[in-house]
Chain A
């Protein structure tokens, strides 16, 4: 036997991946609970406890990271980053996990899934999310995205009996695999062109004349396409409406918040991190992605009467807005990160509310189903309205500030046309979001039924709404954090 090789684990490295470990342990805990108990109530209770502990632990360990001077640190064999950026997204995902546990419970049971099964798979997906923001090379990036998507392929379809559900699951799986293949092919070309997969090394090579190498360009374009697919940006958005509509709402909520945020976290890290030099080579492609996403997303959403489809199209539009930030300078990147946070909070809240509306097995599907909601359930309608206004970008919500930052940085860096397009499409956005608001507050013929909300759900929804409002009224503190997080990227 040869001499033992020490593992590349430095002191503090395990804290730096603490959120990841916490959620993996939670996943193992869910599986153990499923085996250990036979009674459903016990299973459910322990699933909830373990899930909340896992999310809390993830948040705590994220905060325990020693940021030092604020520079990025490469950990565990230079495969992962540890910096303020990862802390930011860790907290976001931990919050999301907690929110999903509390808010999606009813929807999970309504879709005839057992919570323990749903969350044991979702936990693996969350592990993938925690990885995307810290991937420091293309291999980690690819694996993180696979880990994030794989459980969702299953979740999207394993409990459905309806035709649309099966179609959605199959579509998501097949197209997701194609996207992974495209991403992988891009990575292969990139590696072929440079002989490296590390962001740092790649960045150095690209900035020292990578333009001479079409292989690198093609690789970049393909990687961007793969990421755009996960994010759901045009022209890689085709799957979004059908899949969002057909999947169980709890899964859709996860796709609209977690997957999108994780994809954006990876894309921002990839395009604004050490590889920032590469951005200028794909900026034209990115420009078109942004412009088309905004137009197609908003125009599509305008035509929808199904709420889930509407939110799906609007999520395409939001992907466009967020990616617009990447076209700017570091302020633009910060705006993109800020927008991501606001978007995730608002959509988590919006889906949280949607999940509670419904009658027995049936959920509310169309916009008209929400007619008269405010008469019967004023408080939750108010919360829903806040989330929708934030998505529409109306002050005093976070959505307005986020859009302001993004458009502002676009104008500053000379993308005035894009900013104008953004403002115009936002107006369309206001139209369809307000349709829902009007249905709830100004029509009274319908009588939508609301499932019972537990006190924790009220607390979580209230907190989400409060944070959305807070981000709109006093954006300063988060804006500062985001800015220093973005500085640590490079």
Chain B
């Protein structure tokens, strides 16, 4: 009973926050709505007996990624999205319509495919630290390692971009590549 109530509250806030993320005009408000949305998702994970995933969701998304988002938004000091006029023009309406159609589509898909089918409760200890650790080092070992490769590639790429950043401005005047 209480669990169900919590589920509906979390889902409602989650959806509301997600909507706010895409509809609000102030970038900082959008970022904060996204954080709220992610936090609610974490709550839903916790309800699905995946407490560790929930905690990681908070740690990584709300605590790290979104803070960087906010940081960049603030650093650029973005003002309200420049869409004040023409806010409700045809294209916008069309976009909204497509999104809505997609939503209905998705609902129908899920309803038709899974309606009434219940996958059952997770096995005890499924979301536990030990189970996750074991999966990471057996079934998903390759994925785990590939992600580390991916991150390394990203780091190398970022270093290259930043190293070239000031130099490329010079290079426009030839020979400035350091």
Residues of B within 8 Å of A12, CB to CB, are none
Within 8 A of A (CB), among B112-161: 112-114, 119, 130, 134, 137-143, 146-147, 149-150, 152-154, 156-158, 160-161
Q: Is the interface of B mostly helix, strand, loop or mixed?
A: helix
CB distance from A379 to the nearest CB of B (A): 32
Known: A5-B134, A140-B146, A214-B109. A161 touches B141 (CB 8 A): no
Determine if A8 and B157 form an interchain contact, defined as CB atoms under 8 angstroms apart.
no
A14 contacts the other chain (CB 8 A): no
Determine if B157 and A147 form an interchain contact, defined as CB atoms under 8 angstroms apart.
no
Q: How many residues of A contact B (CB 8 A)?
A: 44
Residues of A within 8 Å of B134, CB to CB, are 5
Determine if A79 and B114 form an interchain contact, defined as CB atoms under 8 angstroms apart.
no
Determine if A161 and B109 form an interchain contact, defined as CB atoms under 8 angstroms apart.
no
Which one of A79, A120, A153, A192 contacts B142 once the chains associate, using CB atoms below 8 Å? A79
B171 contacts the other chain (CB 8 A): yes
The count of A-to-B residue pairs whose CB atoms sit within 8 angstroms is: 103
CB distance from A90 to the nearest CB of B (A): 16
Chain B residue, CB-CB nearest to A195: B119
Residues of B within 8 Å of A31, CB to CB, are 156
Which residue, of A5, A24, A154, A189, has the highest number of chain B Cβ atoms within 10 A?
Answer: A154
B90 contacts the other chain (CB 8 A): no
CB distance from A446 to the nearest CB of B (A): 26
Counting contact residues on chain B (CB < 8 A from A), the size range is: 20 to 34
Residue numbers of A with Cβ under 8 A of B are: 2, 5, 7-8, 24, 31, 76-80, 112, 114, 117, 120-121, 124-125, 127, 131, 139-140, 143-144, 146-147, 150-151, 153-154, 158-161, 189, 192-193, 195, 212-216, 218
Residue numbers of B with Cβ under 8 A of A are: 108-110, 112-114, 119, 130, 134, 137-143, 146-147, 149-150, 152-154, 156-158, 160-161, 164, 168, 171-172, 177
Offer 25 A-B interface pairs, CB within 8 angstroms, sorted by A: A8-B141, A76-B141, A76-B142, A77-B142, A79-B139, A79-B140, A79-B142, A80-B142, A112-B171, A114-B177, A124-B153, A131-B146, A139-B143, A147-B146, A147-B150, A154-B160, A159-B164, A159-B171, A159-B177, A161-B168, A161-B171, A189-B109, A195-B119, A215-B112, A218-B109
